[in-house]
Amino acid sequence: MSDRLWFKHIVFSLFALMLAGSMLSCQKQNTGSAQTAKPAERVKLVIASDATWPPMEFVDENKNIVGFAPEMMKAIAEAAGFDVEIRNTAWDGIFAGLAAGNYDAICSSVTITEERKQTMDFSDPYVNAGQVLVVAKSLNGVSTLKDLVGKKVGAQIGTTGAFEIQKAAGVELATYDEVGLAFEDLANGRIAGVVADNPIAADFALQNPKFKDKLKIVGEPFTDEWLGIAVRKGDTKTLTLINDGLAKIKANGKLEEIAKKWLH
Measure the CA–CA gap between 227 and 250, rounded to whole angstroms.
15
- Do the Cβ atoms of 112 and 126 come closer than 8 Å? no
Q: Where are the beta strands (DSSP E) in 152-214?
A: 152-156, 172-176, 193-197
Identify whether residues 110 and 239 lie together within a single domain: yes
- Give the CA count within 13 Å in the CB-facing half-sphere of 227: 21
Identify whether residues 116 and 247 lie together within a single domain: yes
Q: What is the pLDDT of residues 11-38, one digit of tens each?
A: 445 444 454 455 444 444 444 444 555 5
CATH number at residue 174: 3.40.190.10
- Do the Cβ atoms of 180 and 187 come closer than 8 Å? no
Q: pTM of the predicted model, to two decimals?
A: 0.65
Identify whether residues 258 and 141 lie together within a single domain: no
- Give the CA count within 13 Å in the CB-facing half-sphere of 40: 5
Paired with 87 in beta bridges are 48
Question: Is the per-residue pLDDT at 6 higher than 80?
Answer: no
pLDDT band at 48 (very low <50, low <70, confident <90, very high): very high
Q: What is the pLDDT of residues 55-90, one digit of tens each?
A: 899 999 999 999 999 999 999 999 999 999 999 999
- pLDDT score for 207: 79
DSSP states of 141-153: S--SGGGGTTSEE
Question: Is the per-residue pLDDT at 249 higher than 90?
Answer: yes
Average pLDDT rounded to a whole number, residues 3-9? 45
**Pairing, β 226-232 against β 127-128:** antiparallel
Question: Is the per-residue pLDDT at 4 higher than 80?
Answer: no
pLDDT band at 43 (very low <50, low <70, confident <90, very high): very high
Residue 39 counted as domain residue: no
**Pairing, β 152-156 against β 215-218:** unpaired
Measure the CA–CA gap between 187 and 181, rounded to whole angstroms.
10
Question: Lowest mean pLDDT: which of 48-52, 170-174, 188-192, 224-228?
Answer: 224-228
- Do the Cβ atoms of 227 and 129 come closer than 8 Å? yes
Range of the domain at 159: 131-218
Identify whether residues 120 and 52 lie together within a single domain: yes
Q: Which amino acid is at 174?
A: A
Per the model's pLDDT, the better-predicted residue between 207 and 231 turns out to be 231
Identify whether residues 101 and 209 lie together within a single domain: no
